[in-house]
Amino acid sequence: MLSPMAVCCYTHPIKPSTAIPRSASLSPPRLLRRSFLVKCSSRPNEPEPIFTSVRSFAPATVANLGPGFDFLGCAVDGIGDHVTLRVDPNVRPGEISIADITGSNTSKLSRNPLWNCAGIAAIEVMRMLGIRRVGLSLTLEKGLPLGSGLGSSAASAAAAAVAVNEIFGGRLSEQELVLAGLKSEEKVSGYHADNVAPAIMGGFILIRSYEPLELLRLRFPEETELFFVLVSPEFEAPTKKMRAALPGEIGMPHHVWNCSQAGALVAGVLTGDLRALGKALASDKIVEPRRAPLIPGMEAVKRVAMEAGAFGCTISGAGPTAVAVTNSESKGEAIGERMVEAFMAEGNLAATALVRRLDRAGARLVSSIP
């Protein structure tokens, strides 16, 4: 039988020897150089670039998925970040420079590759490949808003990791690229792979363990349509409060409940049973009930999404985006309208709705110049 699930297991080959301080914030210290010398690994055959320039894309991701908190995520198509990467003789060999960052509200993002999600992941891939003789410059096109709960930082990291790998011939595996992406995520939001793994691999990914990194691809049936309704309010989710809202301890009945819903969620994904998937998505008794009240209108948004026929609805990542699931684009649009109205009526927040399919491919090259 062709197994619908791949088990991937990968132990980091080289203990990271990065100079990137682990506990540092993302604000760049002054006077730091904008290009960064990659400390080389002992990989013996340094690859040559096979392109002079590549352009890559990585999709938005929805992490947590209700009872999938901290271990399950999926990719959504048509929105995400692009990276253009060039072999640049003006950059010192073995270094990478961020040439430009485009997109709205990108002023918060550093151009120092040490303090930029794309930069950190690119540096890590260069280190893994042992790049010493080629300098690179990177342009990041942000298609995702920051702090929306759609895996913005993970998309930047994923696009950069794939771009660097591909310009040198694609020697690294998806799992290695996830590890590179994790170096970046660690700096922004903690050592969690539930955004960056699906951003790189596409589809639904279950994070089974970190030591070693073990990822399960949960194959959603090819023939089944799945649409995500993503409704993002104009609201900055209070990240610290969102984290602080998590309970330290969980009672056994809620633990058993959420575990069973997590199992039902996985079953819904693997069998393409959207009703089961949606119901599980909406059934979290541990995290969502604590976080939803911190996002004005969220409880009403969920209620109207269900009333409008969504199979399920929950918070995307740590919010503030709400995500609902349905089986057709037109239904998705109708559900999205209701959700936008509810954010305004109950939360006094303007919001925008997008209806997107599951992205099954993950981060990929979109063009290249030999």
Binding residues for a second copy, per CB under 8 A?
Answer: 1, 3-5, 7, 67-72, 206-209, 216, 218, 221, 223-224, 246-252, 255-256, 258-267, 270-273, 275-276, 286
Rounded to the nearest whole angstrom, what is the least distance from the CB of residue 5 to a second copy in the complex?
Answer: 5
Beta-strand relationship, 136-141 and 95-102: parallel
Beta-strand relationship, 322-326 and 227-233: antiparallel
Rounded to the nearest whole angstrom, what is the least distance from the CB of residue 108 to a second copy in the complex?
Answer: 29
Answer positive or negative: Cα dihedral of 222, 223, 225, 226: negative
What's the CA gap between 109 and 278, in Å, rounded? Answer: 35
Show the tokens assigned to 220.
């959603």
Rounded to the nearest whole angstrom, what is the least distance from the CB of residue 174 to a second copy in the complex?
Answer: 18
- Shorter beta-carbon distance to a second copy: residue 68 or 181: 68
Rounded to the nearest whole angstrom, what is the least distance from the CB of residue 210 to a second copy in the complex?
Answer: 10
Asked if 101 contacts 137 with a C-beta cutoff of 8 angstroms, the reply is no
- Shorter beta-carbon distance to a second copy: residue 120 or 216: 216
Q: Alpha carbon of 38 to those of 28, 34, 88, 115, 367: distances in Å? A: 18, 13, 15, 14, 26
Rounded to the nearest whole angstrom, what is the least distance from the CB of residue 265 to a second copy in the complex?
Answer: 7
Asked if 293 contacts 346 with a C-beta cutoff of 8 angstroms, the reply is no
Polymer length in residues for the chain: 370
The amino acid occupying position 60 is A
What's the CA gap between 366 and 317, in Å, rounded? Answer: 27
Q: Alpha carbon of 134 to those of 89, 165, 169, 250: distances in Å? A: 8, 13, 14, 51
What are the residue numbers of the active site? 185, 239
Backbone phi, psi, residue 98, to 5°: -95, 110
- Shorter beta-carbon distance to a second copy: residue 260 or 367: 260
